[in-house]
Amino acid sequence: MDNILILGGDGYLGWPTAMYLSMKNCKVTVVDNYLRRNLCNQLYIYPLYNIPDLIQRTTLWHKLTGLEIKVVIGNLQNSELMRSLFNGTVKYDWAVTNQFSGIPSAVVHYAEMPSAPYSMIDYKTADFTISNNLITTNNLMWAVKDFSPDTHIVKLGTMGEYGTPNIDIEEGWLEIEHKGRKDKFLYPRQASSLYHTTKIMDTDLLWFGVRMWNLKVTDLMQGPVYGLEIEDIKVKTDENLYTIFNYDEIFGTVINRFIVQAIVGYPLTVYGAGGQTRGYININDTLQCIYLSIKNPSANGELKIYNQFTETFTVKELAERVKSMAGKLGYDCKISLIKNPRKEQENHYYNVNHKGLLDLGLKPHYLTEEALERMFKVVEKFKENIKLDIIFKGIKW
Amino acid sequence: MDNILILGGDGYLGWPTAMYLSMKNCKVTVVDNYLRRNLCNQLYIYPLYNIPDLIQRTTLWHKLTGLEIKVVIGNLQNSELMRSLFNGTVKYDWAVTNQFSGIPSAVVHYAEMPSAPYSMIDYKTADFTISNNLITTNNLMWAVKDFSPDTHIVKLGTMGEYGTPNIDIEEGWLEIEHKGRKDKFLYPRQASSLYHTTKIMDTDLLWFGVRMWNLKVTDLMQGPVYGLEIEDIKVKTDENLYTIFNYDEIFGTVINRFIVQAIVGYPLTVYGAGGQTRGYININDTLQCIYLSIKNPSANGELKIYNQFTETFTVKELAERVKSMAGKLGYDCKISLIKNPRKEQENHYYNVNHKGLLDLGLKPHYLTEEALERMFKVVEKFKENIKLDIIFKGIKW
Q: What is the pLDDT of residues B330-376, one digit of tens each?
A: 999 999 999 999 999 999 999 999 999 999 999 999 999 999 999 99
User: Alpha-carbon distance B197 to A201, whole Å?
Assistant: 9
**Confidence at residue B393, expressed as pLDDT on a 0 to 100 scale:** 83
**Confidence at residue B238, expressed as pLDDT on a 0 to 100 scale:** 86
Q: What is the 3-state secondary structure (H, E, C) of A188-234?
A: CCCCCCHHHHHHHHHHHHHHHHHHHHCCEEEEEEECCEECCCCCCCC
Q: What is the pLDDT of residues B166-178, one digit of tens each?
A: 999 999 999 999 9
| CB contacts < 8 A (A, B) | 128
Lowest mean pLDDT among A103-112, B208-217, B235-244: B235-244
Residues of chain B found within 8 Å of residue A75, distances taken between Cβ atoms: none
CB of B190 closer than 8 Å to CB of B217: no
Q: What is the 3-state secondary structure (H, E, C) of B98-145?
A: CCCCCCCCEEEECCCCCCHHHHCCCHHHHHHHHHHHHHHHHHHHHHHH
**Confidence at residue B233, expressed as pLDDT on a 0 to 100 scale:** 80
CA distance A161 to chain B (A): 11
| Mutation choice for B interface testing from A84, A168, A185 by most B CBs within 10 A | A185
pTM above 0.90, yes or no: yes
CB of B7 closer than 8 Å to CB of B136: yes
**Are residues B343 and A201, on separate chains, in Cβ contact within 8 Å?**
no
The pLDDT mean for chain B works out to 96
The ipTM of this complex is: 0.97
Provide block-wise average pLDDT over 10 residues at a time, chain A (397 residues).
96 97 97 97 95 97 96 98 98 97 97 97 98 98 98 98 98 97 98 97 98 98 95 77 95 96 96 95 98 98 98 97 97 94 93 98 97 96 95 87
* Distance of alpha carbon B187 from the chain centroid: 21
What average pLDDT score do residues B246-268 get?
Answer: 96
Q: Is B251 exposed, middle or buried (0-12, 13-18, 19+ CB in 10 A)?
A: buried
Q: How far apart are the first and last CA of chain A?
A: 47
Closest CA to A170 of A369, A352, A362: A352
CB of B213 closer than 8 Å to CB of A396: no
**Confidence at residue B9, expressed as pLDDT on a 0 to 100 scale:** 98
**Confidence at residue A232, expressed as pLDDT on a 0 to 100 scale:** 77
CA-based radius of gyration for chain B: 20
B388's enclosing H/E stretch is none
For residue A277, list its beta bridge partners. Answer: A314
Amino acid identity, residue A116? Answer: A
Which DSSP symbol is given to B377?
A: H
User: Alpha-carbon distance B153 to A48, whole Å?
Assistant: 44
**Confidence at residue A235, expressed as pLDDT on a 0 to 100 scale:** 66
Active site residue B158: yes
**Are residues B123 and A138, on separate chains, in Cβ contact within 8 Å?**
yes
Amino acid identity, residue B248? Answer: D
CA distance A163 to chain B (A): 11
Q: Which residue of A has its CA nearest to B180?
A: A167
CB of B336 closer than 8 Å to CB of B286: no
3-class DSSP state for residue B358?
Answer: helix
Amino acid identity, residue A158? Answer: T
Q: Which residue of B has its CA nearest to A143?
A: B123
3-class DSSP state for residue B40?
Answer: helix
Candidate list A118, A195, A306, A350, residue with the active-site label: A195
User: Alpha-carbon distance B210 to B301, whole Å?
Assistant: 5
Q: How far apart are the first and last CA of chain B?
A: 47
CB of A101 closer than 8 Å to CB of A27: yes
Q: Supply the angle between the helices B315-328 and B369-380 in degrees, to the nearest 10.
A: 70
CA distance A144 to chain B (A): 11
For residue A311, list its beta bridge partners. Answer: A280
Candidate list A136, A158, A286, A310, residue with the active-site label: A158
Q: Supply the angle between the helices A123-147 and B79-87 in degrees, to the nearest 10.
A: 140
B306 Cβ contact list (under 8 Å, min separation 6): B171, B172, B218, B219, B220, B221, B289, B293, B354, B356, B357
Active site residue A145: no
Residues of chain B found within 8 Å of residue A208, distances taken between Cβ atoms: 190-191, 194, 197
Q: What is the 3-state secondary structure (H, E, C) of chain A?
A: CCEEEEECCCCCCHHHHHHHHHHCCCEEEEEECCHHHHHHHHCCCCCCCCCCCHHHHHHHHHHHHCCCEEEEECCCCCHHHHHHHHHCCCCCCECCCCCCCCCCCEEEECCCCCCHHHHCCCHHHHHHHHHHHHHHHHHHHHHHHHHCCCCEEEEEEEHHHCCCCCCCECCCEEEEEECCEEEEEECCCCCCCHHHHHHHHHHHHHHHHHHHHCCEEEEEEECCEECCCCCCCCCCCCHHHCCCCCCCCCCCCHHHHHHHHHHHCCCEEEECCCCCEEEEEEHHHHHHHHHHHHHCCCCCCEEEEEEECCEEEEHHHHHHHHHHHHHHCCCCCCEEEECCCCCCCCCCCCCECCCHHHHHCCCCCCCCHHHHHHHHHHHHCCHHHCCHHHCCCCCCC
- Closest partner residue to A167 among B124, B181, B186, by Cβ? B181
Left if phi > 0, otherwise alpha if psi is -120 to 50, otherwise beta: which for B330?
left
Domains and CATH numbers, chain B: 3-390 (3.40.50.720)
User: Alpha-carbon distance B352 to B170, whole Å?
Assistant: 6
CB of B305 closer than 8 Å to CB of B171: yes
CA distance B241 to chain A (A): 36
- Closest partner residue to A183 among B146, B167, B178, by Cβ? B167
pLDDT band at B235 (very low <50, low <70, confident <90, very high): low
Active site residue B58: no
